Amino acid sequence: SGESVREVKNYYKLNDENIIVIYDDVSLDVGRIRIRPKGSDGGHNGMKSIIYQLNSNEFPRIRIGIGNRPPQMDLADYVLGHFTQEERNLLGDTRKRVEYVLPLLLKFGVSYAMNEVNGG
């Protein structure tokens, strides 16, 4: 993940705060969205790679909840597994909310987008 993001950053000569990373998060219920202006990797390997390659955690991110794995299941198997029909329906609604909030984030900034999404 990080190498690709770094290549795009370098090619387009982007500042970190102009990079928005959207990723899955097992610490959020399925379909929940959280926006943050910056932060740690939270144990997410993809985010760990991006932060390492950019040498920064100063970029906004949109976390999309996929729910916590069952205790007996390997994390990688869970993350790469399939959603139930109910979860797919929830995630369809989530996609629409991300499509709604992303232009707001770009136009009005992270704080505004956080107020729109993080409360619900």
Torsion of CA 113, 31, 37, 118, to 10 degrees: 50
pTM of the model: 0.89
**120 has pLDDT over 60:** no
pLDDT tens-digit map of 34-84: 999 999 999 999 999 999 999 999 999 999 999 988 888 888 888 888 888
* pLDDT of amino acid 69: 83
Torsion sign, CA atoms 7, 52, 67, 102: negative
- Length of the chain in residues, anyone? 120
Distance from C-alpha of 60 to C-alpha of 27, rounded to nearest angstrom:
18
* pLDDT of amino acid 111: 95
Other CB atoms within 10 A of residue 44 CB: 21
Question: CA angle, corner 36, sides to 30 and 39, nearest 5?
Answer: 105
* pLDDT of amino acid 63: 96
- Split at pLDDT 50, 70, 90, the class of 103 is very high
* pLDDT of amino acid 23: 96
* pLDDT of amino acid 2: 96
Give the percent of the chain with pLDDT over 90.
Answer: 79
- Strands 21-25 and 61-65 turn out to be parallel
* pLDDT of amino acid 35: 97
